[in-house]
Chain A
Amino acid sequence: MTQTVLEITGLNVDYGVGDQAVRAVRDVDLTLRRGEVLGLAGESGSGKSTLAYGITRLLPPPGVIRSGSVRYHPVDGDPVDVMALTPAELRRFRWAETSIVFQGAMNSLNPVHRISTQLLDVIKAHEPDMSAPARLARARELLKLVGISADRMDSYPHQLSGGMRQRVMIGMALALEPQIVIMDEPTTALDVVMQRQILGQLAELRERLGFAVLFITHDLSLLVEFSDRIAIMYGGRIVEEAPAAQLYRAALHPYTEGLLHSFPALRGPRRALTGIPGSPPDLRAMPPGCAFHPRCPRAFTPCDNELPVLGAPADDHPGRSVACWLHRSLESR
């Protein structure tokens, strides 16, 4: 289970070019292992979604990938450099290897086509040799997989509830049995009960089909429960990465600490909700040094002019990394 499936190194994504460019994602290194759920959390504007769009090269203009590499490791065969794919190769790569479930459950389906049309066209685009009855059978199977009866095939999106639409999207994401499913706030638009139901189903499907999930959300409480590892983003950078349980129990970065104190715990002793003072940084005018230092309750000398790099903390925490001066030995500076 420790085999790498997606390797992001030094990814930089800008909106616009030149001096006016907004640097939305900065020097992100992230590794997704086969079959795991990697949670990516952060405030609005921290670059989570931009990172997801960057990986799949779906950035809407004026978004550009300035530098960095994304390598995909297929089950068998050589690693693929996603950034170097030609348009035709990219089209084949998309959905077959990495599919995405988007934020807008309500608007992800084309309103004028039936569910069946939209399920079938993706199968047809990637498996042109498959016969029409076989495609249809596959589409029915996919709906069954996400708990929607096959007679809903001929429904239009507006005839389904929000939860059903999002389940259709999840079913569609699994149509080609991809190795990676990116979920960009898939449950944000749904009520809590539906959220739970869908996440439960997703966990079960992952168990069965073994795909890896990059789960993006601003809801850290969701991730703690649902993911194997969690990466926290702030101001376009990853500031902490750790196994979910460890992160929840002992956050190293003050920002993670703040996020964890922004929602109530269901069990355990009562604790005060504090939240994080201040507001997210302006990406056009980032503070020097650590981007979080103006809001950080524990900022000290090096924080306001020297940028902490993401790395193993000085104190013994295997498998974790953090970008904070509090956890750096002086020598590594």
Chain B
Amino acid sequence: MRFLLQRVAFYLFTAWAAITLNFFIPRMIPGDPVQSLISRNQGRISADAIESLRVLFGLDENESVWEQYVDYWKQLLQGDLGLSFTFFPAPVSTVIGDSLPWTVGLVGITTIVSFLLGTALGVGAGWRRGSWVDALLPATTFLSSIPYFWLGLVAIAVFAGPGSFFPSSGGYEPGLVPAFDQYFIPSAIQHSLLPAATILVSSMSGWILSMRNMMVTVSSEDYITVAHAKGLSERRVALSYAARNALLPNVSGFALSLGFIVGGTLLVEIVFSYPGLGYQLFQAVGSKDYPLMQGIFLIITISVLVANLLADVAYLLLDPRTRKS
């Protein structure tokens, strides 16, 4: 328990540092958002409007940096991440709130499926070396070594196209209104199949490989020989003795990969024009939408930290040796 509290304190500190950096970095970038907004509107903004925009973006020249920093925190704690330029005057929190479910739905589910499937195959491959699962490895490794954007483009070129079942872009049929009904849900699933398949293909081999190698390592441990000598069933030895121990590094890897669900899928969403957070970030960078970028970075930071905490908790639960009595 004390260990956990220590970890939580550590992550809170990290979060504070990350948020502080998030505050300073955009202020160090040459040019400010108001400037770019002015140039976008080609000078048709009055001096008063400029002044109020500055206040709006937290860049009030009458305030010191420290006051700005305090204001930033106040707003943040109220869930206010500022206004987006690209979707002006929509607040950043609304933009993120709209795109986050897409990313979590697509990448979250595929990450979990990829982990479960890859780990299960890895257990099989490591336990029976030289079986058909083992022969699968070079193929999956080859697939995972293909640059993702290329794999996505090939998938689109081969599987999507006029008249194909798989749509080449978007998250749902244009014209449908996002809602949980019989029109929208099937369409959303249909749109997610191809990107999900490409993510699976490129990410699964990592799980297979690491699980297989851990299985091989664990299989030569003394307690595996003891388990065999005890006359336990092959299944029990493989799962409860070998896989149970081999799983530990994979689980922490999995928890960490959960943190990258939000941020690590830029390419998928760009290639498939998927309305998720990565695509939003891509557009924000393109249009110098600093508040949106800041907001997305914040979400990514927090999700990585939460994933780390999850990894710690998972390890505590799975490995009694890390528990301090």
Contacts and interface: CB of A to CB of B under 8 A. Distances in A.
B320 A110 contact: no
B316 interface: no
B309 to A, nearest CB: 21
Interface stretch (B68-76, B115-123, B238-246): B238-246
B229 A125 contact: no
Interface stretch (B9-17, B91-99, B219-227): B219-227
A86 to B, nearest CB: 13
A91 interface: yes
Q: How large is the interface on B (under 10, 10 to 19, 20 to 34, 35 or more residues)?
A: 20 to 34
B223 A99 contact: no
A99 B244 contact: no
B225 A125 contact: no
Contacts of B325: 159
B230 A58 contact: no
Nearest to A158: B321
A109 B230 CA distance: 12
B241 A110 contact: yes
Nearest to B244: A112
A87 B237 CA distance: 14
A71 interface: no
Contacts of A112: 244-245, 248, 318-320
A110 B236 contact: no
Given A158-B321, A159-B325, A108 B222 contact: yes
Contacts of B220: 60
B227 A110 contact: yes
Given A107-B221, A111-B245, A159-B325, A95 B320 contact: no
B56 interface: no
Interface residues on A, range: 20 to 34
Given A92-B231, A95-B231, A58 B225 contact: yes
Given A107-B221, A159-B325, A94 B245 contact: no
A110 B224 CA distance: 8
A102 interface: yes
A107 B248 CA distance: 17
Contacts of A69: none
Contacts of B240: 110, 113, 121
Interface string B240-264: 1100110010000000000000000
A107 B229 contact: no
Contacts of B241: 110
A248 interface: no
B165 to A, nearest CB: 45
Nearest to B232: A125
A263 interface: no
Interface in A66-103: 87, 90-96, 99-100, 102-103
Contacts of B320: 111-112, 114, 156, 158
A156 B229 contact: no
A102 B232 contact: no
A104 interface: yes
B232 A108 contact: no
Contact of B230 (A60, A87, A103, A122): A122
B321 A91 contact: no
Nearest to B245: A112
A108 B226 contact: yes
B223 to A, nearest CB: 5
Nearest to A117: B240
With most chain B CB atoms within 10 A of its CB, the pick from A58, A112, A125 is A112
A93 B231 contact: yes
Contacts of B231: 90-96, 122, 125-126
A246 interface: no
B64 interface: no
B232 A60 contact: no
Contacts of B227: 110
A221 interface: no
A100 B223 CA distance: 12
Nearest to A126: B231
Given A111-B245, A111-B321, A94 B230 contact: yes
B78 interface: no
A56 interface: yes
Contacts of A114: 320
Interface in A102-156: 102-104, 107-114, 121-122, 125-126, 156
Interface string B298-325: 0000000000000000000011110001
Contacts of B248: 112
Nearest to B247: A112
A104 to B, nearest CB: 4
Nearest to A103: B222
A87 B225 CA distance: 15
A125 B233 contact: yes
Nearest to A156: B320
Interface string A240-274: 00000000000000000000000000000000000
Interface string B15-47: 000000000000000000000000000000000
Interface string A47-72: 00000000010101000000000000
A62 to B, nearest CB: 12
Interface string B110-145: 000000000000000000000000000000000000
A96 B244 CA distance: 25
Nearest to B225: A58
27 contacts: A56-B229, A58-B225, A60-B225, A91-B233, A94-B231, A95-B229, A95-B231, A96-B231, A99-B229, A99-B230, A100-B226, A100-B229, A102-B222, A102-B225, A103-B222, A107-B221, A109-B223, A109-B226, A110-B241, A111-B245, A111-B319, A112-B318, A121-B236, A122-B230, A122-B231, A122-B232, A125-B233
Given A113-B240, A156-B321, 5 more contacts: A95-B229, A96-B231, A110-B245, A114-B320, A122-B232
